[in-house]
Amino acid sequence: MSASAPLRARSNGTWNLLRIGGSVSLIATGAIHLDLYLTGYRTIPTIGWLFLLQVIADFVISTAVIVSDCRLVSAAGAGLVMFTLLGYLLALRISLFGFREVRTTAGIIAGAIEIAGFALLAAFALRPHGASKIPKSSVQERHSSVVRNVALRASRWVAGILTAQAAISLGLLLPNPGAASTNTGGSAVLIKVAEVHGVSILTNAHGYTLYWFAPDSSTASRCYGTCAAYWPPLLGVSSATGVAGSFATLHRSGGAMQVTYNGHPLYTYVGDSEPRQASGNRINLNGGWWYEMKASS
C-alpha cells in the first residue's frame, strides 16, 4: 500500500464530512421555513408559495447531496441557501414582494445556518481535483489543468468573500428589531378614512392602513413582542373627526394606551411600504388572523 493512501483516505473523509454538514444545513433551513409556512406564512401573497418551493428544493437538493458527490449538486445547494439568505436580508432591510420582515429568533438561526451551509457546500464543490492522470507530454492538457486549478483557486476566494460579506450583512441588520409603535404615548392620534381597493377603511395620519387582530378583545391586546414588531400598535388618544363608530383606549402592559375602534385595538403593518396599501389584510400571522379596519357607514 502506498504511504499516501492513508492521507487520501483522511482527506476523503474530511470532504465527506463537509458534504454531510452541507446536506444537514439544507434540511435544517428547510425545516425552519416549513414551520414558518405552516404557522402563517402560507397566507402571505407570493411569499407563501415561494416558501413552499424553497422548502421542497431544500429537501430535494439535500437528498441529492447525500447520495452524490457531484460538484454541481453541491454548488446548487450552496446557491440555494445563499439566495434564501439574500431574500431574508432584503425583506429585513427593505421588503420583498410587498412583505417586510422583522428580526426574529427563527430568522437569526436560519440566517446563521444558511451562511454555514453555503461555506460547507461551496468548500465541497470547490475541493481540489484528484491526482492528475494527464500525460506530461501533452502540453495542451497540462495547460488546461493549470487553467482549471487557477479557476478553482479564484472561485474559492469568491466563495470566501461571499461568506464573509453574508455574515457581516446579517450582523449589521440584526440590531434593528423592526418598526416601533406608531406613537409613543398619550398624545392625540389623527385617524382618517380612505378608499383602499374600493373599500372605506381607517388609516393613520399618514394614510397607512389600520388593522385589527382576531384574538384581541375590547379590553386586552394579544399582540406583544415579535408580533408588535410586525404590527406596531396605534398608541395615544384618538382625535378622529367625522368618522362613524366608537373610539376608546386600552392599557397595554407597560402603561401605554392603545386606540381601539368599535372594540378592536388598532395596529399598522410593517409590510405596507406606502399609504393606501393593505398587504396585511386576511393573513394569518403571529398567532391569528389580521384584517383591515373597515370604517363604519
Distances in whole angstroms, Cα of residue 4 to Cα of each of 127, 131, 144: 18, 11, 25
pLDDT band at 144 (very low <50, low <70, confident <90, very high): low
For residue 258, give the nearest of 197, 193, 204 by alpha carbon. 204
Helices (H), the chain: 5-38, 47-67, 71-93, 105-125, 139-173, 226-230
Overall average pLDDT of the 235-258 stretch: 86
pLDDT for 184 equals 47
259 close to 237: Cβ distance less than 8 angstroms:
yes
Mean pLDDT, rounded, for 137-143: 62
Contacts of 138 by beta carbon, 8 Å cutoff, 6+ apart? none
Spatial distance between the Cα atoms of 117 and 5, rounded to a whole number of angstroms: 29
**CB contact set of 203 (below 8 Å; sequence gap of 6+):** 191, 192, 193, 194, 196, 209, 210, 275, 276
CB 269 within 8 A of CB 196: no
pTM over 0.85: no
Residue keyed to cell 408580533: 227
Q: What is the Rg, in whole angstroms, of the alpha carbon atoms belonging to the chain? A: 26
Per DSSP, the three-state class of 285 is coil
Predicted pLDDT at 180: 44
| pLDDT tens per residue, range 89-116 | 998 888 888 888 888 888 889 999 999 9
Label the pairing between strands 257-261 and 192-196: unpaired
Query: pLDDT band at 186, cuts 50/70/90?
Result: low
Over the stretch 34-67, which tens digit does the pLDDT of each residue have?
998 998 888 888 899 999 999 999 999 999 999 9
Position 196 pLDDT exceeds 90: no
Q: Is the pLDDT of residue 156 over 90?
A: no
DSSP conformation class of 164: H
Is the separation of the CB atoms in 281 and 268 below 8 Å? no
Write the CB contacts of 277 (distance below 8 Å, at least 6 apart in sequence): 98, 196, 208, 209, 271
Region for 247 from its dihedrals, namely left if φ exceeds 0, alpha if ψ lies in -120 to 50, beta otherwise: beta
Half-sphere exposure of 43 (CA within 13 A, CB side): 16
Residue 251 has, within 13 A of its CA and on its CB side, a CA count of 3
Q: Which of 21, 24, 13, 82 is nearest to 54 (CA)?
A: 82
Instruction: List pLDDT tens digits, range 9-32.
Output: 455 678 889 999 999 999 999 999
Separation between Cα atoms, residue 85 and residue 217, nearest integer Å:
37
Q: Compute φ and ψ for 136, nearest 5 degrees.
A: -65, -20
pLDDT band at 33 (very low <50, low <70, confident <90, very high): very high
Looking at residue 181, its pLDDT comes to 46
